[in-house]
Amino acid sequence: MSVTLDTGLSWVVYVCLGYLLLVATLYAILVVFSALDNMLRVRQTRAEDFRTLARSRFTVPVSVIVAAYDEAALIRESVRSLLELDYPEHEVIVVNDGSTDETLELLRAEFDLVPQHIYVRRVLATEQVRQIYRSRLDPRLVVVDKDNGGKADALNCAINFARYPYVCGVDGDTLLFPDALLRAMRPVLRDPAAIIGVTSHLAISSAPEEIAAQRDVLGDYRPLLAFQQIDYLRAFMTNRLAWSRLNFMLCAVGAFQIWRRDVLEELGGFARHFTCEDIELTFRAHERYLREGREYKILSLPHTVGVTEGPNRMRSLIAQRERWQRVILETFWAYRGMLGRPRYRSVGLAGMPFYLLSEVVAPVFEVLSVLALVVAAATGSLDWTSCLLIGGIVAFGTGLLTAASVLISDLAERTLPKRRLASLVLLAPLELVLYRPALVWARLLGTVRFLRGDRKWHKFERNTRPRAVAPRSS
Amino acid sequence: MPMVRVLVQEPGGAAAFAGTTPARATWPAATMTTFHFLLTLLFGAALLGWLGLAAYVVGGRAAHDLRARRLAEAEARSSGRGLSRRALRRAALDASLAPHVSLLFAFEEAATVGTGQLVARAGRHRTELDKWRRIEALRILALVADPAALPLLELALRADEDVAAAAAAILGSLRSEAAAEVLAAAIGRSQLPDSKLSAYLDSYPLDVPGVVRRLACDRSPARRYRGVSLLARYIERGDARQLLCAAAGDVDADVRAAVAEALGSAGEGGIDELDALARDTAWFVRAHAARSLGARRYAELGAVVAPLLADESWWVRAAAKDALGELGPDAAAAVAPYLHSSDRFARNGAVEVLERIGHVDLVLVEAVAAPYDVLKQRAAQAIIAASADAYRAAVERATPELREALLVLVEPVGVAA
C-alpha cells in the first residue's frame, strides 16, 4: 500500500479516535450533571406531599391528548390507562387520524361512544373533522374522528378541543402508570409561570399491556428489547437529565410530552411539514423564547411514567431509528441558525454543538471508524491487538455509561429487581456487536434519505399479538 | 499529528511488529509500545470502571433492599433500634411513611442528635447538602412538636424553593391553627406559588375558618382572592357564605371570580349573587358563574345561563354549554329558543347541549310524551332540523314505539331517517 494511502488511513484513525475521545468526555460530563439533577429530583420527590396534590382542587388540570393512527393493538388499554390516572382533574382527547384499521370501532365499543356535536375554537388549522364522540361511560373522554393528516395534524386537532391549561401528548401505543401525571406535573405546580414543557422516562416493551399492570418496568427480557431499554435509559438518564439541568433540553419525546397550552397555541402547534413533530417543537420553543429573551424551562424527569411499545423485530427497529435520524437532521438543519450563537445561550453554545457531534455526524464517524480500523488492521498499518483493544475500550466505555444510567435510574426509583439490574449492566458491553451495527445502519439510511429529501413517516410495523377484535355494539 | 509524521518519516520501522513487508509505512516500535500501553491502560480503565460500577449498582441495590427490610421491621415493631442514623433521618423525612412511624423515628433521631443541634441545622443552610439536612431537621422538629419548629418553618418559607416547598408540606401536615396561620401569612409573600400554599390550606387536617376568613378580608387583592377561594371548604357555615356573598361586589375581578367559583359548591343561598356575576364585566367571572350555576343543579337557573351561549367570549360560551349540560333535561325549555338564535355559536351550542342532556332522544321522548307542550315539540323539531345525524342516532337507539312517534315528529321538518 502506498505511503499516501497509509498516511490518509492514519489520519482517519487519528480523527476517529479523537472524535471518540471527545464524545466520551462530553458524555462523562453529562453523566455528572445528570447525577446531580437526579439527586435533586429524588430529594424533592421524597419531601413532596403527593397525597395533597392528588386530591387538591388547586392542582392544575391537564388535557391528555392522543393521536391514534392504526393503533388497534393497544388503543383500548392505552385510553383506559389514561382515564385511570390518579389526578384531580383531567380530560382525555383521542384523535383518530383516519385509521385504516379498527381503532375507532374498538374505542366506540369499549367506551360506549355516542356521536356529539361539540363546537370548538379552531385555534390551529387541521384536516376535516368527520365526527366527534363522547363516552357515555366516562364523560372525560372525547374521541374525534378526522381525515388523515399525520400525527402533528391530529395533535393540533386535539389541542383545539383541549380545555385545560396544560396539554399532555401521549402516543396511542403508550400505557401510563396511574401516578404518571402527578409525578410529571409536580415541578410544574411549583413554578407554572416558568415551566413550559416536561417530559419523562418511559420503559420499553414489545407488549406494554402485559407489564403495565404489574408495574414491572423494563419487564421485557428479550435481548432486542433489553438493548432498546438500555438505549432509552442512556438517552434519558445521562442525556436528557443533564440537558434539562443545563437548560438545553432538546427533545420532549412524543410518547409523553407535557406542554403549556398557551405556549402551543402561540407557537402555532405541532409542525406538519416535518417527519416527526416532537423534537421540532422543542427546538422551536427554545428558538422563540431565547430570541425574545423570555425566561422559561423545559424539563426532563427521571421518573418512569409508563411503558411504550418497542419493535421486537430488527427490521422494524431499523425503520424506526431511520426515521428518528431523519427527524434529527431535518430539525438540526431547520434550526442551524442557533448553532454557536450566544443569543441562544446554552442551547446555541452547548446543546446544538453537542447534538451536531453526537447525533448529526455520528453515523459518518461510526462507519468511518469501523472501516478505518478494519482496513488498517487488514493492511497491517495497525495490528489486530490494537484494534481489539480499541473495540474493547468502546464496548466497556459504553458499558460504563450504561451502568451509570442504570444506577441513576435505580436511585430515582427502586422499582427494578436486582437480577434485572444485573442483566442490564452485564448486557451493555455486548451492545457494540449485537445492537449497535443495526443502529449505525439505520442512521446511515436516515442520513441518506434526509439528503434525498424523503419526508415519509415509515411507521414501524406493529409487533405481532393476538388480533384485536371490536366487540359487536349492542 | 505525531502519528502521521512518524508514519511518513520512518517507513519500515516496525516490520517485525505488524508482520508486514519492510518497505511499507507503519508504526515505529517505540511509538507502538507507547500506543499499546495507552490503549491497554484505557481498556483496563474502561473494563475496571464498568465492572466496579456494575458491582456498585447491584451491591447498592442489595444494600438498599436490606435497609428497606430493616425499616419495615422497625416499622412493624415500632422502634428505630438497629437502624443507622442516616436511615433514621431519611425515615423521618419520608413523606410516604405513615405519620406515626415518621413520628417515632423523629423522636429517636431527636434524642440521638439533640434538639439544640437540630435547631441550629434547621435555621439556615450554606451548601446544597446542608439544604437537605436543614429540611430533615425542620421535619424532625415539627414532628416532635419542638417549640422552635414554627418560627423556623416560617423562616424556611422565605428561603429557597426546595426549603420553602418542604416547609409548606410540613406545615400542611400539622394540626395546629398557628401552623395554618403561618401558611396563610406566606401567601403572596413566599417563593412558592400561591396555588401550592392554598392546596395545603384547603386540605388542612384541621378546620381553620378563622384563618381563612382573615385571609379573605385582607387588603391585598391577591391574598383576598386566595382567601375567598379557600372559603369554599367552609361554605356550609352561614358566616362564610355571608362573607362570600359580600365579596361578590369586590372591586377586584379575580376575587369576584373566586366568589363565583366558591358559590358553586354552596348547598343554599348565593343564587342572586351568581345571577349578578353571570352578567359581570369580566369574562372569566361570567364563565365561573355559569359553571357554578350548572353545579347548583336548579333547572330554573337554565334561563340565567342560556343567554351566555351567545356571550362574546368563547370560554363563557363553553362554560355555559357545560353548565346547561349539568342542569339536565329540564334546561331544554330554556335552551330551545337559542336554536333560532342569529348567533351561529349559540345555535350550535344549543344543539350540543340538547344532545348532551339526553342525547337528543331524551328530549324527543319528552316531546312525544307531552304532545301538548308546544315549546318542547318545537324544540325537538328544531333539533332534528339542526342535527340530522343526531336525529338518526336517536332513531337507532329508540324503542319501536318511540321510533314511530319520532317519525311523526320528523314530518314538519322533512329529515330523512
Q: B273 and B285 in contact (C-beta within 8 Å)?
A: no
Q: What is the mean pLDDT of residues A222-226?
A: 89
pLDDT, residue B275, reads 93
Domain contains A316? yes
Question: DSSP string spanning B152-195?
Answer: HHHHHTTS-HHHHHHHHHHHHH---HHHHHHHHHHTTTSSS-HH
Q: CB-based contact (8 Å) between A302 and chain B? A: no
pLDDT, residue A461, reads 61
Which structural domain, as residue segments, surrounds residue B199?
68-206
Determine the Cα–Cα distance for residues B93 and A47; give it in Å rounded to an integer. Answer: 7
Q: Which residue has the cell 384547603?
A: B202
Domain contains A255? yes
Picking from A6, A396, A404, the nearest residue to B47 by CB comes out as A396
Q: What is the mean pLDDT of residues A142-163?
A: 96
Model confidence pLDDT, tens digit, residues B195-246: 999 999 999 999 999 999 999 999 999 999 999 999 999 998 989 999 999 9
**Which range has the worst mean pLDDT, A32-36, A39-43, A208-212, A328-332?**
A208-212
Q: Is the pLDDT of residue B23 over 60?
A: no
Average pLDDT score, chain B: 82
B239 and B156 together in one domain: no
B106 and B187 together in one domain: yes
The larger pLDDT score, comparing residue A389 to residue B24, is at A389
**Domain C-terminal end among B206, B240, B264:** B206
Question: DSSP string spanning B349-374?
Answer: HHHHHHHHHHTTHHHHHHHHH-TT-H
Determine the Cα–Cα distance for residues A180 and B336; give it in Å rounded to an integer. Answer: 43
Determine the Cα–Cα distance for residues A66 and A68; give it in Å rounded to an integer. Answer: 6
Q: Is the pLDDT of residue B88 over 50?
A: yes
Task: Please report residues of A whose CB lies closer than 8 A to that of B95.
Answer: 46-50
B122 and B252 together in one domain: no
B183 and B219 together in one domain: no
Picking from A115, A119, A404, the nearest residue to B345 by CB comes out as A119
Domain contains A75? no
Q: What is the mean pLDDT of residues A20-45?
A: 94
The larger pLDDT score, comparing residue B403 to residue B269, is at B269
Those residues with Cβ within 8 angstroms of residue A128's Cβ, 6 or more apart along the chain or in another chain: A146, A147
- Structural domain count, chain B: 2
Q: Give me the CATH number covering residue A318.
A: 3.90.550
ipTM confidence: 0.90
B168 and B258 together in one domain: no
Task: Please report residues of B whose CB lies closer than 8 A to that of A57.
Answer: 202
Indicate the SS3 state at residue B392.
helix
**Domain C-terminal end among B259, B277, B295:** B277
Q: What is the mean pLDDT of residues A410-436?
A: 92
Q: Is the pLDDT of residue B364 over 80?
A: no
Domain contains A250? yes
Domain contains B401? no
| Nearest-neighbour CA in chain B from A332: distance (Å) | 31
Q: Do A418 and B172 touch (CB under 8 A)?
A: no
Q: Is the pLDDT of residue A205 over 50?
A: yes
Q: Is the pLDDT of residue A425 over 50?
A: yes
Q: Is B255 exposed, middle or buried (0-12, 13-18, 19+ CB in 10 A)?
A: buried
Q: Do A421 and B61 touch (CB under 8 A)?
A: yes
Residue B60 — very low, low, confident or very high, per pLDDT cuts 50/70/90? very high
pLDDT, residue A471, reads 40
Determine the Cα–Cα distance for residues B87 and B93; give it in Å rounded to an integer. Answer: 10
Q: Is the pLDDT of residue B21 over 50?
A: no
pLDDT, residue B3, reads 39
Which structural domain, as residue segments, surrounds residue A246?
22-60+165-357
B111 and B177 together in one domain: yes
B160 and B223 together in one domain: no
B184 and B154 together in one domain: yes
Q: Which of residues 355-374 of B touch A (CB under 8 A)?
A: 355-356, 359
B72 and B199 together in one domain: yes
Domain contains A348? yes
Average pLDDT score, chain A: 90
Percent of chain B surpassing pLDDT 90: 48
Domain contains B37? no
pLDDT, residue B248, reads 96
pLDDT, residue B84, reads 81
Q: What is the mean pLDDT of residues B48-58?
A: 97
B260 and B131 together in one domain: no
pLDDT, residue B361, reads 54
Q: How far is CA A93 from the centre of its chain?
A: 21
Most confident stretch, A290-304, A372-386, B107-121: A290-304
Determine the Cα–Cα distance for residues A72 and A106; give it in Å rounded to an integer. Answer: 7
Domain contains A229? yes
pLDDT, residue B253, reads 97
Which of B3, B61, B202 would best serve as a mutation to test chain A binding (most A beta carbons within 10 A)?
B61
Domain contains A322? yes
Q: Is the pLDDT of residue B386 over 60?
A: no
Q: What is the mean pLDDT of residues B159-167?
A: 92
Q: What does R_g of chain A's alpha carbons equal in angstroms? A: 23
Residue B377 — very low, low, confident or very high, per pLDDT cuts 50/70/90? low
Determine the Cα–Cα distance for residues A300 and A184; give it in Å rounded to an integer. Answer: 9
pLDDT, residue B367, reads 55
Residue type, B340: H
Domain contains A201? yes
Domain contains B137? yes
B212-234 core/surface letters (b: 16 or more CB in 10 A; e: else): bbebbebeeeebbbbbbbbbbbb
Residue type, A137: L
Q: Is the pLDDT of residue A468 over 50?
A: no
Determine the Cα–Cα distance for residues B282 and B255; give it in Å rounded to an integer. Answer: 11
Question: How many Cβ atoms from other residues are within 10 Å of residue A444's Cβ?
Answer: 16
B201 and B216 together in one domain: no
pLDDT, residue B97, reads 74
Q: What is the mean pLDDT of residues B345-373?
A: 65
Model confidence pLDDT, tens digit, residues A307-356: 999 999 999 999 999 999 999 999 999 999 999 999 999 999 999 999 99
Residue A276 — very low, low, confident or very high, per pLDDT cuts 50/70/90? confident
Most confident stretch, A115-119, B74-78, B255-259, B301-305: B255-259
- Structural domain count, chain A: 1
Model confidence pLDDT, tens digit, residues B237-277: 989 999 999 999 999 999 999 999 999 988 888 999 999 99
Question: How many Cβ atoms from other residues are within 10 Å of residue A347's Cβ?
Answer: 27
B183 and B226 together in one domain: no
pLDDT, residue B2, reads 37
Three-class secondary structure assignment of B68-107: HHHHHHHHHCCCCCCCCHHHHHHHHHCCCCCHHHHHHHHH
Q: CB-based contact (8 Å) between A60 and chain B? A: yes
Chain A residue with minimal CA distance to B6?
A7
Determine the Cα–Cα distance for residues B245 and A134; give it in Å rounded to an integer. Answer: 36
Q: What is the mean pLDDT of residues B283-312?
A: 91
Q: CB-based contact (8 Å) between B37 and chain A? A: no
**Which range has the worst mean pLDDT, A208-222, A281-295, A362-376?**
A208-222
Residue B10 — very low, low, confident or very high, per pLDDT cuts 50/70/90? very low
Q: Do A117 and B169 touch (CB under 8 A)?
A: no
Task: Please report residues of B whose CB lies closer than 8 A to that of A56.
Answer: 199, 202-203
Question: How many Cβ atoms from other residues are within 10 Å of residue B34's Cβ?
Answer: 12
Q: Give me the CATH number covering residue B229.
A: 1.25.10.10
Q: Is the pLDDT of residue B416 over 80?
A: no
**Domain C-terminal end among B249, B277, B305:** B277
Q: What is the pTM for the complete model shown?
A: 0.86
| Residue closest to A241 by CA, chosen among A408, A428, A20, A43 | A408
